[in-house]
Amino acid sequence: MKKKLSFSFLRTHRKLLAGAACLLAGAILFFSLDGPAAVQAAAAERKLPIYCVQRDNKCVSLTFDAAWGNEDTQMLIDILGKYNVKATFFVVGNWVDRYPESVKALSDAGHEVMNHSDDHAHFSKLSDEEIVRNVNACCDKIEAVTGVRPTLFRCPYGEYDDHVIEAINGMDIRTIQWDVDSLDWKDYDAQTIFSRVKDKVQPGSIVLFHNAALHTPEALPQIIEYLLAEGYTIVPVSELLLDGNYTIDHTGRQCPA
């Protein structure tokens, strides 16, 4: 009986030792080969644009991307002017080439005219040098019309990766995303656009519209009236952003350091 117990115990013990040895070998292999890379990847901080801003007061920014059409730009200027609201327009350099009079009209009305690339390229596919060249080309065009050089940039298609953000930051330009997407480019009706903004907006939000979307001019007055009635102050993005030292959390929210 004792021999049977000893043999059973030895066999079990041997299996445990074998299992432990496998785990140890795996751990050694991980840390010698994949371990440092895995740890470094986990510890690396992803580079993010600014999606929204931590604000104690009810402040919000309305932004419009202009890349193709120009049917409604003047109408948007008139609507914003009626409520004495200043917005930020992110324009593509090719759009500036086609519609310099609209770029000037936006600037003359007190709106920010900022950079949305020179040709709406996929920036994650560009080298750092190509990114800098592309952004500077658009900045040059905007500055030639408005007299003001852009300090903000929005990635075409909202696409970015670490090297895109680092390249833009290296130009002393801040990259701006959004946390409220009206999805007006899908040609939703005005009520749907209004409801999307109403349901998602919060203090520090950056709202995305487009200058040539079908129902944006119809939805915009209702959105502005709602925000004002709720006690929001509507400001251009440069006035929404925090100055001095700040951090950007994992959601893209700009926070005081």
Extract the tokens encoding 5: 């117990």
Are the C-beta atoms of 47 and 247 separated by less than 8 Å? no
pLDDT at 40 over 80: no
**Is 218 or 9 the better-scoring residue by pLDDT?**
218
pLDDT tens across 90-141, in order? 999 999 999 999 999 999 999 999 999 999 999 999 999 999 999 999 999 9
Catalytic residue among 111, 116, 120, 210: 210
Length of the chain: 257
SS3 251: coil
Extract the tokens encoding 138: 């658009």
pLDDT value of position 44: 52
pLDDT tens across 64-95, in order? 999 999 999 999 999 999 999 999 999 999 99
Residue 65 among the catalytic residues: yes
Indicate the average pLDDT of the chain.
Answer: 88
CA distances from 213 to 118, 148, 194, 255 (A): 21, 27, 14, 32
SS3 68: coil
**How many beta carbons lie within 10 A of that of residue 165, not counting itself?**
20
Strands 246-248 and 253-256: antiparallel
Extract the tokens encoding 140: 């040059």
**Is 199 or 44 the better-scoring residue by pLDDT?**
199
Residue 250 among the catalytic residues: no
pLDDT at 3 over 60: no
pLDDT value of position 137: 98
SS3 173: coil
Cα–Cα–Cα angle for 108, 110, 113, rounded to 5 degrees? 85
Residues sharing a CB contact under 8 Å with residue 165, sequence separation 6 or more, in sequence order: 47, 48, 49, 175
User: What's CA 39's distance to the chain center, in Å?
Assistant: 27
CA distances from 113 to 88, 146, 163, 217, 247 (A): 6, 8, 25, 19, 25
Catalytic residue among 65, 72, 118, 184: 65
**β-bridge mates for residue 180, sequence order:** 207
* Overall pTM surpassing 0.85 (yes/no): no
Confidence of residue 45 (pLDDT cuts 50, 70, 90): confident
